[in-house]
A and B are shown apart, each in its own frame.
Chain A
Amino acid sequence: MKKTVVRLLALVMVLSLALLGAGCSSSNKKGELVIFSWADYIDPDLLKEFTASTGIEINYNYFNSEEEMLSKLEAVDGGEYDIVIASDYIINIARKENLLKEIDKSKVPNYENLNEDYLNQYYDPEGKYTIPYVAGTPLIVYDPSRVTCQITGYGSLWDESLKDQIVVMDHMRNVIGFTLKSMGYSLNEQDPEVIAKAGEKLLALKPNIRALDGDTPHEKLISGECTVGYIFTSQVSAVLSERPDFKVVYPEEGMGFGIDSLFMPANAPHEDAALQFMNFLCDPEISARASVFTQYINCNKAATQYLPEEFLNNQAVNIPADILGDIEFMQDISSEATEQMNEIWNTFKQS
Chain B
Amino acid sequence: MLGKPNAAKGGKKRVISPTVWPLYIWTALFVALPLVYVVTISFLKKDEIWGVTNQFTLGNYLSLFDPVYLKVFGQSFLVAVSTTALTLLIGYPFAYFTAKFSPAVRSFIILLLMAPFWVNSLLRLNGWIILLKANGPVNELLMRLGLAQEPLKLLYNGGAMMLGMVYALLPFMITSIYNSVEKLDWSVIEAARDLGASPAKAFFTVTVPLTVPGIVAGCVLVFVPSMGLFFISDLLGGAKSLLLGNLIKNELMQARNWPMGATLSIAMLLFTFAFIGIYKRVTGEKTLGGIK
Residues of A within 8 A of B (CB): 65, 67-68, 70, 74, 93, 96-97, 164, 170-173, 206, 209-213, 220, 223-225, 332, 334-335, 338-339, 341-343, 345-347, 349-350
Find out whether the CB atom of A172 lies under 8 angstroms from the CB atom of B257: no
- Say yes or no: A349-B48 contact (C-beta < 8 A), given A211-B238, A224-B151: no
Interface contact A224-B253, CB-CB below 8 Å: no
Q: Are B50 and A350 in contact (CB under 8 A)?
A: no
Give the tally of cross-chain contacts (CB within 8 A).
Answer: 93
Taking a contact as CB atoms under 8 Å apart, the answer to whether A339 and B255 are in contact is yes
When the two chains form their complex, are residues B136 and A346 in contact, meaning their CB atoms are under 8 A apart? no
- Main SS of chain A's interface residues? helix
Question: Does B229 belong to the interface (CB within 8 Å)?
Answer: no
Are A223 and B136 within 8 A (Cβ)? yes
Residues of B within 8 A of A97 (CB): 50-51
9 smallest CB-CB distances across A and B, nearest first, come from A211-B238, A212-B239, A342-B255, A349-B242, A224-B134, A67-B253, A350-B242, A225-B134, A211-B156
Please judge, given known A-B contacts A210-B238, A223-B133, whether A65 and B49 are in contact too, CB under 8 Å: no
Contact A67 B256 (CB under 8 A): yes
Question: How far does the alpha carbon of A223 sit from the alpha carbon of B131 in the complex, in Å?
Answer: 12
Residues B68 and A170 in contact, CB atoms below 8 Å apart = no
Q: Check B241 against A350 for contact (C-beta < 8 Å).
A: yes
Q: A93-B49, A96-B49, A349-B241 are in contact. Are A343 and B66 (CB under 8 A)?
A: yes
B68 touches A346 (CB 8 A): yes
A-B contact pairs, 23 of them (CB 8 A): A68-B253, A70-B50, A93-B50, A96-B49, A97-B51, A172-B254, A209-B240, A211-B240, A223-B134, A224-B151, A332-B49, A334-B48, A335-B48, A338-B256, A342-B250, A342-B254, A345-B250, A346-B68, A346-B242, A346-B247, A349-B239, A349-B250, A350-B71
CB pair B135 A224 closer than 8 Å: yes
Are B134 and A342 in contact (CB-based, < 8 A)? no
B250 / chain A contacts, CB cutoff of 8 Å = 172, 342, 345-346, 349
Inter-chain contacts of A171 with B (CB < 8 A): 254
CA distance A171 to B135 in the complex (A): 27
